[in-house]
Amino acid sequence: MKKHEMKRIFLSSLVVFLLSVSLQAQPTEKLVKVAIAPDHANWVYNKGENVKFKVTVTKNSELLPNVKIRYEVGPEMMTPTLKDSAVLKEGGLIVPGGTLKDAGFLRCKVVAEYDGIKYEGLATVAFNPELIKPTVLYPDDFIQFWDKAKQDLAAVPMDVKLTLLPERCTELTNVYQANIQNYKLGMRLYGIVSIPKKPGKYPALLRVPGAGVRPYYGDPSTADLGVITFEIGIHGIPVTMDAGIYTDLGRTTLDGYPIFNLDDRDKYYYKRVYLGCVRAIDFIYSLPEFDGSTLAVTGGSQGGALSIVTAGLDSRVKYLAAFYPALCDLTGYFSNRAGGWPHMFRDLKAGKEKIETAKYYDVVNFARNVKVPGFYSWGFNDVVCPPTSTFSAYNSITAPKELLIMQETGHWTYPEQNEKSKQWLLGKLLGR
């Protein structure tokens, strides 16, 4: 196949992939919109203070009269304390939401029915979120456990294999698939590394992935600016295969991977993942083009978790940027409040071994060890990584930190959030 044809196929696949990710991440526009506005503009209240939710249902930006709604209010992710229904004669209603006596989040959910179709809206308000404390306990041997794991990793050679991907290279950047040995012989780590072509020493950015199974394309556009980028997968499989292969794996072999071997702290699936992030840093440090010091890590959701974990686990990280981190305060449900993704304890039926293992992998306990500046961002309406859980981790960080809250966002970001994160990272990495 000719080079230009390979590049055309690659670019077509990339557009399809990015479009699918965008469609999954961003809420779609709907004919009928259900808007819920708390009576505090910043959506933040003090404990014991009552909240009122203004509900409006519109079509073509006009209030929709005589629409039927059902609404419920309660602590996020928990059983609602108020349920009722109404007919909005003039398209609007004030719902008394009550209050919380403890720091946390209260959510109002409204479902409107119009022309046989249901439309949903959410608003989640905070009560003294800066006072939210984690429920997960910190094991006495947490540091020793991970120091031993890193020692075991260091004893395993990296055995790096790089494959140039000509169709992904730019005028300024070479792009490779990296195939590296992880913490056990035969266990591999794959990713896409983008390295500036111009001779010199460069800072580096490690991109860690959200949950799921997918191909990766790297970040040559940032490398074009003078930053080595390394985007990794976590499952020990090549990241350049046909997209359908990952779909099949996600439905079969890797379905449910976040709870694989949760009853054994040495065999739990995320041990290979967390140590893979450390191995990725080993690889970056081995690159002759790396400046040997300036390194940041970033990601969202599972990647937000891995950003905090990596910074808390490896002192070579100098900066981190994390969006709505997963795996935070997993045991929250045992205290009658929201726990973090993947919500493995939501049914309150987990055995003692699983709860014990989770302590060694909960992002909160890595957050306690973060010592470098960080940029963080999420919204209050996230039903995947609830803000109660993310604040549990954020409030545990004593290092310099900057939090950008976009109240109405769920498990997605506005372009403005991404731009602020990008500029923050480039400012740290390139001294802008």
The whole-number pLDDT of residue 25 equals: 57
Q: Which residues contact 17 (CB under 8 A, 6 or more apart)?
A: 214, 215, 217, 243
121 DSSP assignment: E
CA 237 from centre of chain: 21
CA distance 312 to 329: 16
Q: Bigger pLDDT: 90 or 93?
A: 93
pLDDT at 18 over 50: no
In the chain, domain spans: 32-128, 142-430
Q: Is 10 left (phi over 0), alpha (psi -120 to 50) or beta?
A: alpha
pLDDT in tens, 115-139: 999 999 999 999 999 999 999 999 9
Per-residue pLDDT averaged across 19-40, rounded? 75
- Tell me which residues are annotated as active site: 301, 382, 411
pLDDT at 19 over 80: no
pLDDT in tens, 191-215: 999 999 999 999 999 999 999 999 9
Domain 32-128 has CATH 2.60.40.1930: yes
- At residue 289 the predicted structure's pLDDT band, cuts being 50, 70 and 90, is very high
Q: 32-128 with 142-430: one CATH topology?
A: no
pLDDT at 235 over 80: yes
CATH of 142-430, one of 3.40.630.20, 3.40.50.150, 3.40.50.300, 3.40.50.1820: 3.40.50.1820
- Vertex 348 angle, CA 346 and 353, to 5°: 105
Record the pTM. Answer: 0.93
The whole-number pLDDT of residue 9 equals: 36
Q: Is 104 left (phi over 0), alpha (psi -120 to 50) or beta?
A: left
pLDDT at 426 over 90: yes
The whole-number pLDDT of residue 17 equals: 41
- At residue 50 the predicted structure's pLDDT band, cuts being 50, 70 and 90, is very high
What are the angstrom distances between the C-alpha of 7 and each of 18, 170, 240, 248?
16, 11, 14, 25
The whole-number pLDDT of residue 349 equals: 76
The whole-number pLDDT of residue 185 equals: 84
Mean pLDDT (the chain) is 93
pLDDT at 2 over 60: no
- At residue 238 the predicted structure's pLDDT band, cuts being 50, 70 and 90, is very high
Is the Cβ–Cβ distance between 319 and 425 less than 8 Å?
Answer: yes
